[in-house]
Amino acid sequence: MMGYYILIGAIALVSWLVSARLKSKFRHYSKVHLQNGMSGAEIAEKMLQDHGIRDVKVVSTAGMLTDHYNPKNKTVNLSEGVYHQRNAAAAAVAAHECGHAVQHAQAYEWLTMRSKLVPVVSVTSGLSMWVVVGGLVLGAASGAGLGFWVAVAGLVMMGFATLFSFITLPVEYDASNRALAWLKRRNMVTPQEYKGSEDALKWAARTYVVAAIGSLASLVYWGLQVFGGRD
């Protein structure tokens, strides 16, 4: 277990460093005010309109960097700062979340795959490690094969979460690419503002990369514990 705690600690440290860098970038680019004077909410509404999307609502949500697109009720949820502010960071986030709305409207295959996994992962992600550990304990106590198969079932559950985290990567990168292409094509930002938006979205994407690597590392670690202990 000590090795697992060291692994989780290392991943948590990297995740914290990336998250801190992301927040620093957003604070910096929040000072780069848009020359067009548009707020994040106005940017989002404009991007939806330009893509012919009429059934998605842009709303404000509490918190910092809590921005997300909800495909169930078709809402682009922007954090209070992004919703009201008129800067490069707000423009980047607002356009990115609208990128997900465009993906949904166009049935982007990676988003469809991720959406199908949501109900499975919502159930298995919180249980998987306990099932694996329980199987290992059962196997050690009884010496029977049942514990092994329980642990394998836990690994399968853990695998769904890992698969979900990797499918999330093309979804997030594609949404950013759509956002940046639209911002440039429609001249919504100046070259300086565009660079800020691009840099902010790059750091946001890196948080998903770290999460995916962490999920894979955890799966490999527990896989070695389960299969490495067999004769």
- Domains in the chain, number: 1
Structure-block tokens of residue 150: 């329980």
Q: What is the pTM of this model?
A: 0.88
Extended beta strands in the chain, E state: 57-61, 68-70, 75-79
* Arithmetic mean of pLDDT, 176-183: 97
Distance CA 179, CA 200 (A): 12
In this prediction, residue 146 carries a pLDDT of 85
Distance CA 45, CA 98 (A): 8
Under the banding of pLDDT at 50, 70 and 90, the label for residue 50 is very high
pLDDT tens for residues 110-139? 999 999 999 999 999 889 989 999 999 988
Distance CA 137, CA 147 (A): 7
Q: What percent of the chain has pLDDT over 90?
A: 72
Residue 114 near residue 150 (C-beta atoms within 8 A) = no
Expressed as residue numbers, the domain containing 42 is: 2-228
Distance CA 114, CA 99 (A): 15
Burial of 34 (0-12, 13-18, 19+ CB in 10 A): buried
Give Cα 220 distance to the centre of its chain. 21
